[in-house]
């Protein structure tokens, strides 16, 4: 049995804060501690209380920094690490001109393996300990994704995209090969270690009705798997979808009519929704995913978080790299705050940090594994430093409470604010920095 005590200022959420005064929604300890046993949080409380339970266990003292659960990114594209920051286009042109050509390179197992390393290095650097990723259409890309996640013992969800039309040569499967490869990937990776497979029809435009039928079969045969796709991101996308699926009542009805909506379904973007679609989201329990930096970058539109929330719909929040412009969930919360401000929906920093951790875990149905510092959950823990740049230190000198500190992290923080990242109890950020310095 390996044990360690992590000491620091400690913050963990129990439910979504109703507002900034909702102090019962979280625990905050000025001198807190986590007792970690074999990668699992065994106890969480004040240092005074926990240290008497484990007097001989080695202590890592992170004070004055803040320990909280690792960030969870509920929508990201692994094969787009070299697409991020591609100029000038909105969704369909951006896909055709930049993204699809780049994704063809993931037919190579060697390229996929190299990029998987780079991708997970970025996640760790930015404090993201769990992500839900789209891989490319190639089985090789999903194999590389899960192999690297396994090597690092990270809780990762992902899947190869199903796409059999409206994409270049080398980037299409068929209904049958998409089905067969997904079956093999589920059997090779789902539930192995911390991996979860996600059935991933890319979006209505790139899947024929035959492929949607196969996706439905996969979903029926594997209720243990999540499902992810894209919904109503862009007006031209919506119009083209209506042409391709003329019988559908609206965009969401494409997925609904193939039985793809339920509590394990994640729908990226969900910006331009009809009233019937909102009703269907509420009825089925499917989860929209807000991707702020992407929605601004591609000029897609403003996500109506409060409107959906008022209907009892629970939304994820995510980077959507490579249309998203940062791997940082802090920067994602920053841009998210601004998008919601434009609609008169001021997101409190306590709500923001809950969303990126416990909230996203709850959207994934993984609240008992990740997203909090509760005993019995996996020790994916980050250490945040709100004075990590001179500008932040200057502002922090005038901050007088936790909410202000969190808001400074949210508006000004990035990977530099992430001091340490524990994955299953093992420190990975400083470890990988040391490795980079050695190999430089």
Site for ligand GUN in 286-325 (CB under 6 A): 294, 320, 323
Q: How far is CA 167 from CA 112, 137, 261, in A?
A: 19, 10, 25
CA 269/CA 248 separation, integer angstroms: 19
- HSE of 307, CA atoms in CB hemisphere, 13 A: 18
Number of residues that bind ligand GUN (CB under 6 A): 11
- Nearest distance, CB of residue 17 and Zn ion, angstroms: 28
CA 437/CA 199 separation, integer angstroms: 38
- Nearest distance, CB of residue 211 and Zn ion, angstroms: 18
Out of 12, 99, 195, 211, the residue judged to bind ligand GUN by CB under 6 A = 99
List the one residue out of 94, 97, 154 whose CA is nearest residue 122: 154
Instruction: Indicate the residue among 296 and 384 with the shorter CB distance to ligand GUN.
Output: 296
Is residue 320 a contact point for Zn ion (CB under 5 A)? yes
Is residue 272 a contact point for ligand GUN (CB under 6 A)? no
- Nearest distance, CB of residue 222 and ligand GUN, angstroms: 22
What sign does the dihedral 84-87-91-97 (CA atoms) show?
Answer: negative
Is residue 203 a contact point for ligand GUN (CB under 6 A)? yes
User: Is residue 243 classed as helix, strand or coil in its secondary structure?
Assistant: helix
Contact window for Zn ion (CB under 5 A) among 159-167, 253-261, 313-321, 352-360: 313-321
Asked whether 102 and 79 are in contact (CB, 8 A), the reply is yes
- Nearest distance, CB of residue 430 and ligand GUN, angstroms: 33
List the one residue out of 410, 391, 408 whose CA is nearest residue 399: 408
- Nearest distance, CB of residue 303 and Zn ion, angstroms: 13
Instruction: Indicate the residue among 266 and 418 with the shorter CB distance to Zn ion.
Output: 266
Out of 79, 201, 268, 292, the residue judged to bind Zn ion by CB under 5 A = 268
Is residue 202 a contact point for ligand GUN (CB under 6 A)? yes
- Nearest distance, CB of residue 271 and Zn ion, angstroms: 12
Burial tier of 246 (Cβ tally within 10 Å: 0-12, 13-18, 19+) = exposed
- Answer with the entry of Zn ion, ligand GUN, none that 146 interacts with (C-beta below 5 to 8 A by kind): none
- Nearest distance, CB of residue 268 and Zn ion, angstroms: 4
Q: What are phi and psi of 248, to 5 degrees?
A: -70, 140
Q: What are phi and psi of 275, to 5 degrees?
A: -55, -40
Who's near 106: CB < 8 A, 6+ residues apart? 79, 112, 115, 135, 136, 138, 140, 141, 144
Binding mask 421-440 for ligand GUN (x = CB under 6 A): --------------------
- Nearest distance, CB of residue 423 and ligand GUN, angstroms: 26
- Answer with the entry of ligand GUN, Zn ion, none that 106 interacts with (C-beta below 5 to 8 A by kind): none
Structure tokens belonging to residue 10: 């400690």
Instruction: Indicate the residue among 32 and 324 with the shorter CB distance to ligand GUN.
Output: 324
Cβ neighbour number for residue 337 with a 10 Å cutoff: 19
Asked whether 219 and 259 are in contact (CB, 8 A), the reply is yes
Is residue 335 a contact point for Zn ion (CB under 5 A)? no
The string of DSSP letters for 365-394 reads T-TTTSSS--TTSB--EEEE-TTSSHHHHH
Asked whether 354 and 13 are in contact (CB, 8 A), the reply is yes
Contact window for Zn ion (CB under 5 A) among 79-87, 173-181, 262-270, 346-354: 262-270
Is residue 230 a contact point for ligand GUN (CB under 6 A)? yes
Site for ligand GUN in 22-81 (CB under 6 A): 77
Is residue 233 a contact point for ligand GUN (CB under 6 A)? yes
List the one residue out of 262, 151, 364 whose CA is nearest residue 252: 262
Site for ligand GUN in 323-382 (CB under 6 A): 323
- Nearest distance, CB of residue 37 and ligand GUN, angstroms: 40
Applying CB under 5 A, the residues found at the interface with Zn ion are: 268, 320
Interacting residue ranges for ligand GUN, rule: CB under 6 A: 77, 91, 95, 99, 202-203, 230, 233, 294, 320, 323
């Amino acid at each position: 049995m390996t044990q360690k005590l992590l000491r620091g200022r400690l913050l963990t959420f129990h439910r979504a804060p109703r507002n900034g005064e909702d102090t019962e929604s979280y625990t905050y300890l000025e001198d807190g501690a986590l007792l970690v046993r074999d990668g699992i949080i065994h106890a969480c409380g004040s240092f005074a209380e926990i240290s008497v339970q484990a007097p001989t266990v080695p202590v890592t003292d992170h004070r004055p920094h803040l320990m909280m659960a690792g960030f969870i990114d509920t929508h990201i594209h692994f094969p787009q690490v070299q697409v991020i920051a591609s100029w000038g286009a909105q969704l369909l042109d951006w896909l055709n001109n930049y993204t699809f050509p780049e994704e063809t390179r993931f037919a190579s197992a060697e390229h996929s393996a190299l990029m998987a390393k780079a991708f997970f290095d970025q996640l760790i650097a930015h404090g993201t300990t769990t992500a839900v990723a789209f891989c490319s259409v190639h089985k090789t890309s999903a194999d590389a994704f899960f192999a690297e996640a396994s090597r690092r013992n990270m809780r990762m969800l992902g899947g190869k995209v199903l796409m059999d039309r409206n994409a270049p040569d080398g980037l299409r499967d068929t209904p049958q090969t998409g089905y067969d490869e997904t079956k093999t990937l589920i059997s090779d990776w789902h539930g192995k270690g911390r991996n979860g497979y996600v059935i991933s029809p890319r979006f209505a435009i790139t899947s024929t009705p035959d492929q949607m039928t196969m996706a439905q079969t996969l979903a029926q045969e594997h209720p243990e798997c999540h499902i992810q796709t894209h919904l109503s991101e862009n007006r031209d996308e919506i119009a083209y979808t209506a042409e391709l699926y003329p019988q559908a009542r609206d965009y969401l009805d494409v997925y609904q009519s193939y039985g793809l909506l339920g509590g394990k379904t994640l729908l990226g973007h969900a910006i331009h929704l009809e009233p019937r679609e909102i009703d269907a989201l509420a009825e089925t329990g499917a989860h929209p995913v807000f991707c702020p930096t992407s929605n601004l970058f591609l000029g897609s539109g403003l996500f109506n978080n409060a409107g959906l929330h008022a209907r009892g719909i629970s939304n994820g929040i995510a980077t959507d790299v490579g249309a998203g412009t940062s791997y940082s969930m802090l920067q994602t919360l920053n841009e998210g705050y601004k998008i919601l401000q434009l609609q008169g929906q001021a997101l409190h920093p306590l709500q923001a940090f809950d969303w990126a951790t416990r909230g996203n875990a709850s959207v994934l149905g993984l609240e008992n594994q990740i997203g909090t510092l509760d005993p019995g959950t996996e020790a994916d823990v980050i250490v945040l430093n709100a004075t990590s740049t001179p500008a932040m230190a200057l502002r922090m000198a005038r901050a007088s409470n936790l909410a202000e500190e969190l808001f400074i992290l949210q508006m000004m923080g990035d990977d530099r604010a992430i001091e340490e990242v524990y994955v299953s109890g093992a420190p990975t950020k400083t470890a990988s920095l040391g490795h980079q310095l050695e190999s430089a």
